Amino acid sequence: MRVAIIGAGVIGLSSALCIHEQFHGLVPSLELEVYADRFTPHTTSDGAAGLWQPYLSDHGNLQETLWNKETFDYLLRHMHSAAAKEMGLFLISGYNLFTEPVPDPSWKNIVLGFRNLTPKELELFPGYSYGWFNTALMLEGRSYLPWLTNRLTPRGVKFFHKKVESFQEVSGDGVDVVLNCSGMRSGDLQPDPQLQPGRGQIIKVLAPWVKHFIVTHNLKSGIYNSPYIIPGSEFTVLGGVNQHGNWSEENSAKDHKSVWDSCCQLLPTLQKAKIVDEWSGLRPARPSVRLERESIRLGNVQAEVIHNYGHGGFGITIHWGCAMAAARLFGNILQEKKQLATPPGARL
Amino acid sequence: MASPKVAVVGAGVIGLSTALCITETCPSCSVALLSDQFSPNTTSDVAAGMLIPHTYPDTPIHRQKQWFKETFTYLFAISNSAEASEAGIHLVSGWQVFKSTPKEALPFWSDIVLGFRAMSEAELLKFPQHQFGQAFTTLKCDCPPYLLWLEKRLKAAGAQMYTRKVADLWELHSEYNIVVNCAGMGAHQLVGDKQLFPVRGQVLKVHAPWVKQFIRDGDGLTYIYPGIHRVTLGGTREKGSWSLSPDAGTTKDIFDRCCSLEPSLQGAQDMEVKVGLRPSRQGVRVQREVLSQGGVELPVVHNYGHGAGGFSVHRGTAIEAAHLVEECISALQVSSSRAKL
């Protein structure tokens, strides 16, 4: 049984790992192949700061909230292991700031120690009158993707550096299931007008004295169109750009100035920070994550496709919950193809 | 007295901050700082510089609280300014965890640090050997940056600094009108204070930049304090030990204890081992004294004996010591005008 995974960002690699972990014992002939034109450190997941934090509201999409929770709990369990450092995983506390009171987020009981900010804490952030403090996790793509790759390679998973132009290209030639984890470029494989870029631009600086994340919110401008500061293990990410519909991956001088000025205003000590890099990336934004099966007729072959894309600015936050959901869909396919006598987990 | 000449002995955090306070409260004073050691070779350089107060049995709590509050307020303002990184002052959040419920649920400083609250059950899961915990946000003074920043401010205020070992405070009587004794552990020799004793602390400073939160065991013996470039792992409290040499067995013990609180420290790199002697006393000595020999008087202000809590109260005791210096100046002016009559 050959499975092709298109995409080697956090979604593609974690889906591949989840499927292999669950099914390789049950399906001895299971062969996974990852196809991508970009691998770490050049994926969208590598550019993201890596803060686990969903959007402010799940808009009633409880499924996504559950996937977020599954991811957080999964990562938290790994915190006690010595692997945490290699995974790029660590605990971090910080601030979410608002100019007016807002309802508590869907994730308030998922993170640790969620509470409102005290008046004294708000003195640190002139212009903001309300906010939250909580402890969350950082999962840095630049470490996590290599860690996933290092788990996949000894399992015999093969990697192919190529741009896949169509499902046909991989589904012919004996591939039974295709996992579409192509993120921003899913539209190239199958048009999806709901999938739009949420262009971000970030500045990476050296500011090791910053120990907290600070995410500000402007309810009118929308999520991540307001300054944010996220300290990583090597450098601190300054951001605050989320341009819907902008496909440019080039750094813009105007956005640089806007991010720099607004972050320095938020945290004056950043003026002394040394800039080491700048990056633009496209959040694969969609009203909801597309995580579903599709049977596609390609020539005289019926191909099973599992879509897992459209994670916007919360891919790292939701990845493991989605990987497990994709693995469940894979299990269903196996059952239908009579590759499995009983569903996984039902055996005693 | 037009321009009182004040000598401050000691260039750790107490000496530097006291000298700076004196330049602020007494602009007409000529301030000289004398010390045999400067940063990075002071006891303060070994300390993590965390603002978590030590409780002094013989100092009234309201006074300790006042000192802490003044120090916290002062550093909070710096941490919020463009100078924060140069001064080495930054906010840090974390947990203090207890194996058994502490006697005091609310320490005297709980309303001065930020966001103080009990840890939730979910948070305590990270510490299976601990039953209770407190979460809060406080400030950290990284040394050497903080001491160098104080030195820079002192120079800008016109103070002079001299490398000089003072063997006896009296030797300064001919050059200075007032002497301020901030000699820390050196006060044992300098003024023969038998109530002052060393409490040896060994720490490890490691490179582990993914550690963003502090963890402190409520017994005060084991702690992980992330600084700007290094994380301080501690520690020991060896009462009466004068040894400044690192002990290899102690290093392993500290590392093991810290790894059990934070397993990811196994991956820490570039370990430096340091030792400092906390200048400990039942109460901090912030006090005036007049030394006299052969009819000549030398006013002295003492500001030493901060033990494990120097950083936490440094600005508050510096302010108090500077007030005492003002009192000394007033007293000198009274006696000099009497002499004129």
Per-residue pLDDT tens over the stretch B162-203: 999 999 999 999 999 999 999 999 999 999 999 999 999 999
Tens-place pLDDT, residues A11-50: 999 999 999 999 999 998 899 999 999 999 999 999 999 9
Q: Does A268 touch chain B (CB under 8 A)?
A: yes
Q: Which residue has the tokens 């037009």?
A: B2
Does B122 sit within 8 Å of A93, measured CB to CB?
Answer: no
Mean pLDDT of A179-200: 97
B contact set with A (CB within 8 A): 79-86, 88, 90-94, 114-115, 117, 119-120, 122-123, 126, 135, 137, 142, 209-213, 226, 228-229, 263-264, 266-267
In this structure, chain A runs to a length of 348
**Residue B287 to residue A65: CA distance in whole angstroms:** 61
Other CB atoms within 10 A of residue A156 CB: 11
Helices (H) and strands (E) counted in chain B, each on its own, are 9, 15
Band of residue A345 on the pLDDT scale cut at 50, 70, 90: low
Looking at the partner chain, which of B79, B82, B263 has a beta carbon nearest the beta carbon of A82? B263
- CATH superfamily of domain region B5-339: NAD(P)-binding Rossmann-like Domain (3.40.50.720)
Band of residue A347 on the pLDDT scale cut at 50, 70, 90: very low
Asked if residue A334 is part of any domain, the answer here is yes
Asked if residue A129 is part of any domain, the answer here is no
Other CB atoms within 10 A of residue A91 CB: 23
Residue A158, pLDDT > 80, answer yes
Mean pLDDT of A165-185: 90
Contacts of B214 in chain A (CB under 8 A): none
- Distance in Å, alpha carbon of A70 to nearest chain B alpha carbon: 15
Tens-place pLDDT, residues B128-157: 999 999 999 999 999 999 999 999 999 999
Does B81 sit within 8 Å of A268, measured CB to CB?
Answer: yes
Give me the residues paired with residue B80 across strands.
Answer: none
**B339 or A151: which carries more pLDDT confidence?**
A151
Residue A348, pLDDT > 50, answer no
Burial class (CB in 10 A: 0-12, 13-18, 19+), A194: exposed
CATH number of the structural domain spanning residue A6: 3.40.50.720
First CA to last CA distance, chain A: 25
Residue A249, pLDDT > 80, answer yes
Count how many domains chain A has: 1
Alpha helices in chain B (DSSP H): 13-25, 43-46, 61-79, 84-87, 121-124, 145-156, 187-190, 248-261, 310-340
Does A209 sit within 8 Å of B90, measured CB to CB?
Answer: yes
Asked if residue A305 is part of any domain, the answer here is yes
User: Which residues of B belong to the annotated binding site for D-dopa?
Assistant: 223, 278
Does A135 sit within 8 Å of B213, measured CB to CB?
Answer: yes
Residue A130, pLDDT > 90, answer yes
Q: Is the dihedral of CA B99, B101, B104, B108 positive or negative?
A: positive
Of all residues in chain A, the percent with pLDDT exceeding 70 is: 97
**Residue A85 to residue A17: CA distance in whole angstroms:** 19
- Distance in Å, alpha carbon of B207 to nearest chain A alpha carbon: 11
Between the CA of residue A293 and those of A300, A329, B88, what are the distances in Å?
Answer: 19, 7, 54
3-state secondary structure of B243: coil
Mean pLDDT of B76-85: 94
Q: Confirm if B243 and B200 have CB atoms less than 8 A apart.
A: yes
| Cis upstream peptide for B186 (omega within 30°) | no
3-state secondary structure of B317: helix
Band of residue A171 on the pLDDT scale cut at 50, 70, 90: confident
Tens-place pLDDT, residues B275-323: 999 999 999 999 999 999 999 999 999 999 999 999 999 999 999 999 9
Does A211 sit within 8 Å of B212, measured CB to CB?
Answer: yes
Does B81 sit within 8 Å of A112, measured CB to CB?
Answer: no
Does A269 sit within 8 Å of B84, measured CB to CB?
Answer: yes
Looking at the partner chain, which of B94, B135, B228 has a beta carbon nearest the beta carbon of A209? B228
Tokens of B16: 């530097």
Tokens of B135: 């979460």
Tens-place pLDDT, residues A252-261: 999 999 999 9
Q: Say what the pLDDT of residue A299 is.
A: 74
Residue A341, pLDDT > 70, answer no
Tens-place pLDDT, residues B278-289: 999 999 999 999
Residue A344, pLDDT > 70, answer no
Domain that holds residue A7: 1-50+140-194+286-347
Does A209 sit within 8 Å of B85, measured CB to CB?
Answer: yes
Residue A314, pLDDT > 60, answer yes
Asked if residue A12 is part of any domain, the answer here is yes
> What does the DSSP 8-state code read for residue B50?
B
How many interchain CB pairs under 8 A, A with B? Answer: 99
**H or E segment at A297?**
strand A290-298
Mean pLDDT of B35-42: 97
Domain boundaries, chain B: 5-339
Tokens of B95: 């947990």
ipTM of the complex: 0.94
Band of residue B341 on the pLDDT scale cut at 50, 70, 90: low
Identity of the residue numbered A125? F
Contacts of A117 in chain B (CB under 8 A): 115
> Which residues neighbour B155 within 8 Å (Cβ) at sequence distance 6 or greater?
B161
Does B209 sit within 8 Å of A208, measured CB to CB?
Answer: yes
Q: Does A252 touch chain B (CB under 8 A)?
A: no
Contacts of B83 in chain A (CB under 8 A): 269
Residue A81, pLDDT > 90, answer no
**Residue A8 to residue B8: CA distance in whole angstroms:** 63
Tens-place pLDDT, residues A218-238: 999 999 999 999 999 999 999
Q: Say what the pLDDT of residue B253 is.
A: 98
Q: Say what the pLDDT of residue A342 is.
A: 56
**Residue B313 to residue A253: CA distance in whole angstroms:** 46
